[in-house]
Amino acid sequence: MARIILHVDMNSFYAAVECMYHPELRGLPLAVGGDAEKRHGIVLAKNEYAKRFGVKTGEALWQARQKCPGLEIISADYPLYMRYSNLARQIYRSYTPKVESFGLDECWLDLSGRDMDFFEASRLAEELHVRIIEELGVTVSIGVSWNKIFAKLGSDMNKPDGTTVITPDNYRQRVWPLPVGELLYVGPATKRKFQHAGIYTIGDLAVSSPDWLQERLGKVGLMLWHFARGEDSSAVAEQDEASIVKSVGNSVTTPRDLVGDEDVKLIFYALGESVAARLREQGLQTACVSISIRDTDLFSLGWQMKLSQPTDLTLEIVGAALEIYHKNYLQKHPIRSMGLRAEKLSPADPEQLNFLPDRQRREQYARIDRAIDHLRSRFGYVSVRRAYLLRDELGKMDAKRSHVIAPISFLKGGEKICSN
């Protein structure tokens, strides 16, 4: 029996939700963005009218205004978007328990085992279109395929409010002519590497030598080769898997450019305190720390490092992040945003401290962390701060107010997360 996978993407999600609460903005070019005065001034989402002027997600608000002088900009309301995201997942789970989120506005649904073919799956997709617009007031684009990668690709092909079916019989005609950059996980850097090698389309990638790709790009190159050929067999998460935390992290766009190691250290301390506190709240430890950096040219990099022993200690997590940064970030361009994430999580074992090296030092760190957690639980996050964070306005950031739970990724293991 063939697998039937749907990928549902809510169109211009943030902007669509805002228009329901601000009907006076309907029919006008609209962008949802951060606070430009606090340097959160990028386009997070835009509606179709703004898209016609060339407004792009991720560009600075001032650039968007140059393209579209009449652009209406509204600040993001994440609790509101989360509410609609949860309502959408409730609808999806009325069809299948196998629902996996890929951000607030995207989900995969696994309909395998329902004794249906792709034609019947496309009819169910149309039913979903109607339910989402009637019950939530937003439109969706849906991809239907036998694997997650092609389903995701299909949802991008017929926007807005369309359905695209990609089957084992038609994927060479529908997918292979597309630019290689359209494939999931092919970022700008990887795209350039492919193009320098004469690989311009997904079809070019699919017929390339897997040995050559692995030699040039490592296991990521081989993974992308399999994706281009429709050979993705990754599972869609069960409903009861949604609550399993795969990683805990924070990311932040800073109030000003970070121009030196001291600035970076301050932010890693702020982020690390938040990440470590959440691990302790959930009784978890991490065996792997990853960081992400986005410079003022909006170029993003990320790396990860396995730890010698699991930890939930703030200073150890921050120390790992700084070690990764000093080893890998060689460009030293001004930095606009940063992220820190704890991965490879496991239940914490308080007794484990007694059998590890540097016992007294680690026990002291643990007591300090617990004392800080207790004080903040009673008097608020800003009631106690590390002295180092008082050196600069950057250190006053309350990173715990804004956190990111990272989605389950196809990319597992390895030292480098991405170079895109």
Considering the domain boundaries, does residue 213 fall inside one? yes
The whole-number pLDDT of residue 36 equals: 53
Whether 262 is catalytic is no
- Tens digits of per-residue pLDDT, 52-91? 999 988 788 888 999 999 999 998 887 888 889 889 999 9
Q: What's the average model confidence in pLDDT over 383-390?
A: 74
Contact 88, 107 (CB under 8 A): yes
Which pLDDT belongs to residue 363? 82
The pLDDT assigned to 219 comes to 81
Q: Are residues 36 and 53 in the same domain?
A: yes
Cβ neighbours of residue 346 closer than 8 Å, sequence gap 6 or more: 284, 285, 287, 310
For 62, the domain range is: 1-166
* pLDDT band per the 50, 70, 90 thresholds, residue 218: confident
Q: Residue 102, class by beta-carbon neighbours within 10 Å (0-12 exposed, 13-18 middle, 19+ buried)?
A: middle
The reply to whether omega before 255 is within 30° of 0 (cis) is no
Residue 217 pLDDT > 90, yes or no?
no
Query: What is the total count of domains within the chain?
Result: 3
Three-state SS string over 23-85 comes to HHHCCCCEEEECCHHHCCCEEEEECHHHHCCCCCCCCEHHHHHHHCCCCEEEECCHHHHHHHH
* 3-state SS, residue 201: strand
CATH classification of the domain holding 209: 1.10.150.20
pLDDT exceeds cutoff 70 at 353: no
Note whether 210 and 343 are same-domain residues.
no
Provide the token pair at 378. 């009673």
- pLDDT tens figures, 170-198: 999 999 999 999 998 887 778 888 999 99
The DSSP secondary-structure symbol of 177 reads T
Residue 317 has pLDDT above 90, yes or no: yes
Residue 309, pLDDT > 60, answer: yes
Per-residue pLDDT of 232-280, as tens digits, reads 888 887 644 444 567 888 888 776 778 888 889 989 998 998 899 888 8
**Across 116-145, average pLDDT:** 94
Q: Is residue 417 part of a domain?
A: no
pLDDT of residue 75: 85
325 vs 291: CA distance, rounded Å: 8
Same domain, 27 and 162: yes
User: Which residues on neighbouring strands pair with residue 108, listed in sequence order?
Assistant: 7, 100
Banded pLDDT at 403 (limits 50, 70, 90): very low
The residue behind tokens 């921050």 is 318
pLDDT of residue 44: 80
What is the sign of the dihedral through the CA atoms of 122, 125, 129 and 134? Answer: positive
Q: 131 with 188, same domain?
A: no
188 and 297 inside one domain: no
The verdict on 219 and 290 lying in the same domain is: no
pLDDT of 164: 96
- Mutual angle of helices 188-196 and 210-228, in 10-degree steps: 130
pLDDT at 402: 41
Q: What is the mean pLDDT of the chain?
A: 83
265 with 213, same domain? no
How many Å is the Cα radius of gyration of the chain? 23
Q: Identify the pLDDT of residue 321.
A: 96
- Least confidently predicted of 68-82, 198-212, 271-285, 380-394: 380-394
Domain-embedded: residue 34: yes
Q: Are residues 123 and 264 in the same domain?
A: no
Same domain membership, residue 105 and residue 42: yes
- The DSSP secondary structure of 278-324, one letter per residue, reads HHHHTTEEEEEEEEEEEETT--EEEEEEEEEEEE--HHHHHHHHHHH
Residue 228 has pLDDT above 70, yes or no: yes
Collapsing DSSP states into helix, strand and coil, what is residue 142? strand
208-222, 280-294, 347-361: which range is least confident on average? 347-361
Choose the catalytic residue: 18, 106, 273, 343: 106
CATH code: domain of residue 124 = 3.30.70.270
Higher-confidence residue of 317 and 189: namely: 317
Tell me the CA distances in angstroms from 340 to 141, 189, 201, 282, one per residue in order: 32, 22, 34, 18
Cα separation, 268 vs 290, in Å, equals: 11
Q: Environment class of residue 74 by beta-carbon count within 10 Å: exposed (0-12), middle (13-18) or buried (19+)?
A: middle
Question: Of 145, 166, 187, which closes a domain?
Answer: 166
The overall pTM is greater than 0.85: no
Candidates 298, 276, 274; CA nearest to 285 is 276
Residue 413 located in a structural domain? no
pLDDT of residue 132: 95
- Region 346-367: mean pLDDT is 68
Which pLDDT value is given to residue 1? Answer: 59
Do both 10 and 105 map to the same domain? yes
Q: Which residue has the tokens 């990638």?
A: 205
Q: Tell me which amino acid residue 94 is.
A: S
Does residue 398 have a pLDDT over 70? no
- Give residue 145's pLDDT: 97
Answer positive or negative: Cα dihedral of 267, 14, 50, 102: positive
